[in-house]
Structure 1
Amino acid sequence: MSVKVYERILDLFEAEGINTLFGIPDPNFVHLFHLAEERGWNVVAPHHEESAGFMAEAVSRMTGKAALCIGTLGPGLANLAGAIMCAKVENSPVIFLGGQRARITEQRVRRGRIQFVQQMALVENSVKYSASIEYAEQTDEIIREGLRKALSGTPGPVYIEYPQHVIQEELDVPPVLPPEAYRLVGQTAGADLVAKAAELIGAAQQPVLLVGHGVHTSRAGASVKALADLMACPVIQTSGGTSYIEGLEDRTFPYGFSAAAIDAVVKSDLCLAIGTELGEPVHFGRGRHWVANEANRHWILVEQDPSAIGVNRPIDVPLVGDLRAIVPQLVDALKDTPRTPSPELEGWIKQDADQLAELAETAPSGMSPVHPARLIVEATKAFPEDGIMVRDGGATTIFGWTYSQAKPHDVMWNQNFGHLGTGLPYAVGAGVAAGGKRPMMLITGDSSFQFHIAELETAARLGLPLVCVVAVDYAWGLEVGVYKRTYGQGSLETGVHWSKDTRFDKVAEGFGCYGEYVERDEDIAPAIKRAYASGKPGVIHVAVDPKANSEEMPSYDEFRTWYAEGQQ
């Protein structure tokens, strides 16, 4: 069949189940955008290309598939750079398509060329693969190689560009191939190693299941739930794996921030780790809380990248492949011999529930401005049961780890890279992936919220059920705390304070959203409910106490241990 290059590109992505794109169209892309919308794709144009990249990443996390983001030549690609780097560190399989001037422009010896820079060299260290469609006939092989690289081993972003003279060339091509015809899909582990893993699980007295970010981005919750039921043990969340699996909420404990989690880890004699790199936030699986029983603990690691096995710690049984295929293998191996529940499991469940209840009771109240711990308690108590939670900010997120009363099944935040400003774009992308049918709550600091505040208009245009709860101290709260710890109280705090005249509720109204100002504890939850009821995206401006926000971050000492600095 005869098709244009831009048509074929859409065909190839549709074969992978991709039907959403983010970007700002320019002459390079108008034909592709127009055809995508005609075909029923979700075509979302935000106000900044970096936002587009974060939105695409959120779609990937919500669907378990690769996602697509487009940036125009020159400044568009420059704006995408932060999102590309973020996707690399967050292990997100996003395909970034970039336009470029015709190659004759690049090859000429000229100065003063408009909207031109050599783009591939700028991004090659931030992607798993970069290529250019130099000839129309390369379209299939390069797009497929991009998808192959993005989804193989540790997932990650790729960059593909095409010069503007290529996009409308004609191709005579056969029908597109399904994914399994050109890349490895559903890789399982060897039966011998699965059997060895099942044997270790059966012999363990105090096993733990360590669940990371990859479990949720692969949408593997149901099969992991079946495995956890057979293992009858506590589920320990990494800091990236903070989405709760439905049915496991009561026995899922956050590593390092739950006393039950710490006790379970210290006493464990087996750890089955799924969807995690065993990085600094879990002390590489061999430092801090893991030290006490190291000599008696076996490790099973489910890992898609064979070159990652044994890098951060020795592994007894490596299960290399797609966790979506390997976890069902383990379930099948254990189904006839389920474990008796760990003897202390009920006690840990009660300990964790009591800790959460105590935090809700003891979070300082009655203050105006509001104590940030109380903001988290009141906001998360009002979190919708079927909602999507999005986090952003420094001090605000640290308060959230400890004081959150919600156990959401989908959590979006930028854990590995620590990129601020992702919250609002992540929320828009997650909302698009959910078809606008699930309520969302963004809990963010004020400084982070301002990075991409223009995307409030995008949320309003799309009619997304989003409420943004903004902790406002008119400062970079975490950095203020660093100044105080470094130089003492009353020291000069350079570059961390900003205007106290800003009202985010009024800004929201200007974008066609619902806005409300709050400065008392008891008004937070009612304001959130009114925002949801308004039928518009909402922004709740919550004035928080700046002294508490910078000086009273809970578990801050635990957070600092993530930065190993060669000590682990």
Structure 2
Amino acid sequence: MAAPTPTVGEALVTMLEQAGVDTVFGIPGVHTIELYRGLAASSIRHITPRHEQGAGFMADGYARVTGRPGVCFVITGPGLTNTLTAMAQARADSIPMLVLSGVNATTTLGKGRGHLHELPDQAALARTVALWSHTLTDPAQLGEVLQKAFAIMTGGRPGPVHIEIPTDVMKLPAADMTFKMPETAQPRPSPADLATAARMCTEAKRPAILIGGGANHLGDGISRFAEALGAPVISTTNARGIMSGHPLDVPASPSLDCVRKLLAASDLVLALGTEFGPTDYDMYEDGGFTLPANLIRVDIAPDQLSRGPQPALAIKAGLGAFIDDMLANGDISKHLPAENGADRAQSVRELAKAEIGEAYRGHVDLLQDIWQALPEATLVGDSTQLVYAGNMYVEAPRQAAWFNSATGFGTLGYAAPAAIGAALGHPGRPAIALLGDGGFQFTLAELGSARDCGADVAFLVWNNEGYREIETSMTASDITPIGVTPSAPDFSMIASAYGLASRRVTSSAEIISALKELPRPCLIEYLDTGSA
């Protein structure tokens, strides 16, 4: 007897396996159960969050540490709308994410008859944040559509992609079960642009480099290129740790005055894979960030090259391709690097530590102590005191050991699920979720998800009894603070209810002890009554 023909849902799971997907994050529902038909027999691990926003944030954290797309299964309607916030954060930070959702049966689409989970145009809604959204109606096109999705996520500036499958199409027989990952090549810089860039670099006496999230996973090339020029390398939040421990590393925000002075005194600045977002370059909104006229910008996305500071030379190219070609350039290879690069970098590191102030220095010291105690840890942050300090200055031990949602799109509720995704993406590397008591309540239930999958995560709650940063801003603007003191639960009791170990602490030393001693997943609540 012949085996039954696989359905579209079963074929999808098989193709994801062939694409190297090992984990999907999602909450099954009546509109996605056909996607789950082949999942139990596959090699893919399924992680169930407590909310679809958590699924998206878990996929985000997983993608950041692995460099591979995070994958979500979400239901029609509210499942997708719950995921949109996470997709928007991924879009802002260029994180590859594949969101696979159901949609109502093809005969009902656009009819507005009030079917379960119905939206006027679900794909159009997804397109507001996705790089691409597609409705699969022909089973024969499944492999082609999936190939295009991976090509978009990996062939240019990464971001979220959405594929929706009508509930009736999920059940149809699949035409094919084979899938081949698309071959994508980074666009290379033109010979003319390379020649001009090499000339500008060899003529510079005081070069500097700015790197953003587009430089992730290119640490070796960035280091060799910086050494060839003798250029200090300033890393934005999403690039921290790429140059870890290197004498040319400046792990400080371009919003700091000392970093701005370094750039202003440079006779050449190369901006590599950075969009010049205000939350990195003008955090205090003082308009004081400027660059010298001799600016080279390199970005894989041409639209980014036309935004923000206008360069003397704009190069559309994959950053890895640009660095490889520059290092292979004869003029660069024979060039004598600037002799004072390391001294300039060290001076700015020292000035930055002084400029951030005593309170932030204390927070940064704690962050460095955490890595001293747990060298393999990944620190994943929400918008909270420790994260604000670290974004100004922190020496992360490696790429993707420090990331958060306090810049760019700026979601709350990010750190808890994203830390779970990071821990699952890199087994053996514990993740520390840095949380405020207010923001943690957005996704507090993900404690249960961590328990279910045994995630190697410590949830560090910085409890200052409300939205202290917003309260301070309201007071500074002569606005009577209101709405900034939401009640916090007894976090230890909630952790206990989920079966997690917990400890309440009042000092940095106690935080470190708890991180060393408590079995993970665990919760540590720090009671902060003095932070501004």
TM-score, normalised to structure 2, is: 0.89
1:309 aligned residue = 305
CA-CA distance at 1:276 after TM superposition? 0.7
CA–CA separation in structure 1 for the residues paired with 2:493 and 2:242: 34
Is the Cα contact below 8 Å between 1:3 and 1:170 reproduced in 2?
A: yes
The change in CA–CA distance for 1:22 and 1:191 in structure 2 (over 3 A counts) is same
Establish whether residue 428 from structure 1 lines up as the match of residue 428 from structure 2.
Answer: no
Is the Cα contact below 8 Å between 1:186 and 1:325 reproduced in 2?
A: yes
Pick one of 520, 525, 529 that aligns with 1:541.
Answer: 525
Establish whether residue 132 from structure 1 lines up as the match of residue 135 from structure 2.
Answer: yes
Is the Cα contact below 8 Å between 2:436 and 2:463 reproduced in 1?
A: yes
CA-CA distance at 1:270 after TM superposition? 1.1
1:221 aligned residue = 219
1:528 aligned residue = 515
CA–CA separation in structure 2 for the residues paired with 1:222 and 1:145: 30
1:269 aligned residue = 267
Is the Cα contact below 8 Å between 1:225 and 1:247 reproduced in 2?
A: no
The change in CA–CA distance for 1:396 and 1:247 in structure 2 (over 3 A counts) is closer
Is the Cα contact below 8 Å between 2:235 and 2:251 reproduced in 1?
A: yes
What SS does the corresponding residue of 1:529 show, helix, strand or coil?
helix
Where do residues 164-243 of structure 1 align in structure 2 (5 Å cutoff)? 164-173=167-176, 175-180=178-183, 184-216=184-216, 219-243=217-241
1:400 aligned residue = 390
Query: In structure 2, what residue type is equivalent to 1:225?
Result: S
CA–CA separation in structure 2 for the residues paired with 1:89 and 1:237: 17
**What is the CA deviation profile of residues 70-95 of structure 1, one whole-angstrom value per residue up to 9, with x for unaligned ones?**
21112212211212222222222212
CA–CA separation in structure 2 for the residues paired with 1:136 and 1:241: 40
2:345 aligned residue = 348
2:11 aligned residue = 8
2:81 aligned residue = 78
CA–CA separation in structure 1 for the residues paired with 2:415 and 2:157: 24
CA-CA distance at 1:437 after TM superposition? 1.0
1:323 aligned residue = 319
Query: In structure 1, what residue type is equivalent to 2:506?
Result: E
CA-CA distance at 1:340 after TM superposition? 2.5
Is the Cα contact below 8 Å between 2:112 and 2:118 reproduced in 1?
A: no
Is the Cα contact below 8 Å between 1:23 and 1:46 reproduced in 2?
A: yes
Query: In structure 1, what residue type is equivalent to 2:325?
Result: Q
Establish whether residue 91 from structure 1 lines up as the match of residue 94 from structure 2.
Answer: yes
What SS does the corresponding residue of 2:487 show, helix, strand or coil?
coil
Where do residues 14-163 of structure 1 align in structure 2 (5 Å cutoff)? 14-33=17-36, 35-106=38-109, 110=113, 112-118=114-120, 119-163=122-166
1:497 aligned residue = 485
The change in CA–CA distance for 1:100 and 1:344 in structure 2 (over 3 A counts) is closer
86-95 or 399-408, which moves further after superposition? 399-408
CA-CA distance at 1:396 after TM superposition? 4.2
What SS does the corresponding residue of 2:524 show, helix, strand or coil?
strand
CA–CA separation in structure 1 for the residues paired with 2:215 and 2:421: 19
The change in CA–CA distance for 1:258 and 1:37 in structure 2 (over 3 A counts) is farther
Is the Cα contact below 8 Å between 2:234 and 2:254 reproduced in 1?
A: no
1:519 aligned residue = 506
**What is the CA deviation profile of residues 129-175 of structure 1, one whole-angstrom value per residue up to 9, with x for unaligned ones?**
22211121232232233333334443222221111111122233374
What SS does the corresponding residue of 1:378 show, helix, strand or coil?
helix
What SS does the corresponding residue of 2:379 show, helix, strand or coil?
strand
CA–CA separation in structure 1 for the residues paired with 2:325 and 2:303: 22
The change in CA–CA distance for 1:408 and 1:176 in structure 2 (over 3 A counts) is closer
Query: In structure 2, what residue type is equivalent to 1:496?
Result: V
CA–CA separation in structure 1 for the residues paired with 2:112 and 2:277: 47
1:467 aligned residue = 458
**What is the CA deviation profile of residues 407-464 of structure 1, one whole-angstrom value per residue up to 9, with x for unaligned ones?**
4532221221011111111111111111x21022222211111111111122222222
Is the Cα contact below 8 Å between 2:207 and 2:269 reproduced in 1?
A: yes
CA–CA separation in structure 2 for the residues paired with 1:109 and 1:48: 26
What SS does the corresponding residue of 1:83 show, helix, strand or coil?
helix
**What is the CA deviation profile of residues 353-411 of structure 1, one whole-angstrom value per residue up to 9, with x for unaligned ones?**
4754x689x846xxxxxxx8645533431222222111112444223334656545322
CA–CA separation in structure 1 for the residues paired with 2:315 and 2:355: 39
1:339 aligned residue = 336
**What is the CA deviation profile of residues 48-71 of structure 1, one whole-angstrom value per residue up to 9, with x for unaligned ones?**
101101111222222223332121
CA–CA separation in structure 1 for the residues paired with 2:185 and 2:453: 34
The change in CA–CA distance for 1:168 and 1:89 in structure 2 (over 3 A counts) is same
**What is the CA deviation profile of residues 277-334 of structure 1, one whole-angstrom value per residue up to 9, with x for unaligned ones?**
12323259x962425xx2xx42222211123323323223333222232222222226
Is the Cα contact below 8 Å between 1:393 and 1:447 reproduced in 2?
A: no
Pick one of 357, 368, 389 that aligns with 1:380.
Answer: 368
CA–CA separation in structure 1 for the residues paired with 2:358 and 2:112: 66
The change in CA–CA distance for 1:512 and 1:353 in structure 2 (over 3 A counts) is farther
Q: Which runs of 5+ in 2 are unaligned?
A: none
CA–CA separation in structure 1 for the residues paired with 2:57 and 2:492: 24
TM-score, normalised to structure 1, is: 0.84
The change in CA–CA distance for 1:109 and 1:341 in structure 2 (over 3 A counts) is closer
Query: In structure 1, what residue type is equivalent to 2:304?
Result: A
What SS does the corresponding residue of 1:99 show, helix, strand or coil?
strand
What SS does the corresponding residue of 1:77 show, helix, strand or coil?
helix
Number of equivalent positions: 520
Query: In structure 2, what residue type is equivalent to 1:514?
Result: A
Is the Cα contact below 8 Å between 1:472 and 1:541 reproduced in 2?
A: yes
The change in CA–CA distance for 1:396 and 1:224 in structure 2 (over 3 A counts) is same
Is the Cα contact below 8 Å between 1:472 and 1:542 reproduced in 2?
A: yes
Is the Cα contact below 8 Å between 1:22 and 1:70 reproduced in 2?
A: yes
Is the Cα contact below 8 Å between 2:244 and 2:397 reproduced in 1?
A: no
The change in CA–CA distance for 1:121 and 1:115 in structure 2 (over 3 A counts) is same
CA–CA separation in structure 2 for the residues paired with 1:514 and 1:38: 33
The change in CA–CA distance for 1:523 and 1:375 in structure 2 (over 3 A counts) is farther
What SS does the corresponding residue of 1:47 show, helix, strand or coil?
coil
1:558 aligned residue = none
Q: Which runs of 5+ in 1 are unaligned?
A: 365-371, 550-568
Is the Cα contact below 8 Å between 2:205 and 2:338 reproduced in 1?
A: no
The change in CA–CA distance for 1:198 and 1:18 in structure 2 (over 3 A counts) is farther
What SS does the corresponding residue of 2:38 show, helix, strand or coil?
helix
The change in CA–CA distance for 1:199 and 1:458 in structure 2 (over 3 A counts) is same
Pick one of 395, 420, 431 that aligns with 1:440.
Answer: 431
